[in-house]
Amino acid sequence: MDTSGLPESLRARIAERSALSPIDKVRKLLHGYVADAEDFGEIRANLLHTARTNDFFLRQYLDALESILVEPQPPGTLLHLVEGDANWGIDDDQTDAGAAVFLRKVAELLRSVIDEG
């Protein structure tokens, strides 16, 4: 993304957000699009609205999600992301493995929205 025509304050914000660790990018995604959503339909609608405008950060969120799902995480990390950051209860499997299933579903949704947007 060419940011040369943007004001310095926006370029700095883009650089700051782009420099976040994968886990912090996932937290931003979960706080911004998942935490207050009623269901996956609402999550999808909000992501699609953003993707139709600019998917720059959505692509970073997807990369970050994929990264934390393939790299080993400290015990409890994925579960905390889902139950704490996403404010989403897991009924069936309240473990990191169960949380990974949820996060993979979010990644699939995000990927489809980016492709569609």
Q: What would the pLDDT profile of 87-113 be if each residue is shown by its tens digit?
A: 998 888 899 999 999 999 999 999 999
C-alpha to C-alpha distances, 38 to 33, 41, 85, 94, 101, nearest whole angstrom: 11, 8, 15, 19, 18
CA-CA distance, 66 to 103, in Å (whole number)? 9
Predicted pLDDT of residue 77: 97
Query: Binning pLDDT at 50, 70 and 90, where does residue 3 land?
Result: low
Domain segments of the chain: what residues?
21-116
pTM for this model (two decimals): 0.88
Q: Give the up-direction half-sphere exposure of residue 25: CA atoms within 13 A in the CB hemisphere.
A: 23
Residue 38 CA to residue 36 CA, distance in Å, equals 7
pLDDT at 11 over 80: no
pLDDT digits (tens, 9 = 90+) for 52-92: 998 999 999 999 999 999 999 999 999 999 999 999 988 88
